[in-house]
């Protein structure tokens, strides 16, 4: 009976994660093991295999991609929120600047009017003294 097709089934059921060693023994037979056979055997191949089955690995990769996409979306939303906040603060700063300039203009106008009033009063006082 041909049992070669059982080999992959045996490996998938007994192998967890790590390395698989393939070597040829003294009689020329190909052997597989999770442990390095050491000795005088010629290692033909070291096979590394994942902790997951292909379906599990695909599901894990999809979950990681989804998590990264959610993180990117969250970061983009935060970026947009910060840009809106910056625009709001810039507008408030511009408004405050305009208000400050207006108040300085009003102060200058008030000072000019006060000076004109004082000059007018001084002129009236002089005029009244003359008479």
Structure tokens at 44: 């033909």
The three-state DSSP-derived secondary structure of 37-56 is: CCCCCEEEEEEEECCCCHHH
Query: pLDDT tens across 48-94, in order?
Result: 666 667 788 888 889 999 999 999 999 999 999 999 999 999 999 99
Structure tokens at 9: 């089934």
Q: Residue 27: pLDDT band by 50, 70, 90 thresholds? A: confident
Spatial separation of the C-alpha atoms in residues 58 and 9, rounded to whole Å? 20
Are 12 and 53 in contact by the 8 Å Cβ rule? The answer is: yes
SS3 call for 30? strand
**Chain CA centroid to CA 6, Å:** 47
Spatial separation of the C-alpha atoms in residues 122 and 126, rounded to whole Å? 6
Its pTM stands at: 0.45
């Amino acid at each position: 009976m041909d049992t070669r097709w059982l080999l992959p089934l045996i490996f998938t059921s007994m192998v967890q994660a790590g390395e698989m060693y393939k070597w040829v023994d003294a009689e020329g037979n190909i052997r597989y093991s999770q442990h390095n056979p050491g000795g005088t055997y010629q290692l033909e191949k070291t096979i590394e295999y994942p902790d997951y089955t292909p379906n599990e690995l695909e599901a894990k990769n999809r979950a990681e991609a989804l998590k990264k996409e959610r993180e990117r979306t969250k970061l983009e939303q935060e970026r947009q929120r910060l840009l809106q906040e910056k625009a709001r603060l810039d507008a408030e700063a511009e408004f405050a600047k305009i208000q400050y300039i207006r108040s300085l203009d009003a102060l200058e106008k008030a000072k000019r009017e006060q000076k004109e009033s004082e000059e007018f009063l001084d002129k009236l006082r002089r005029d009244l003294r003359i008479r």
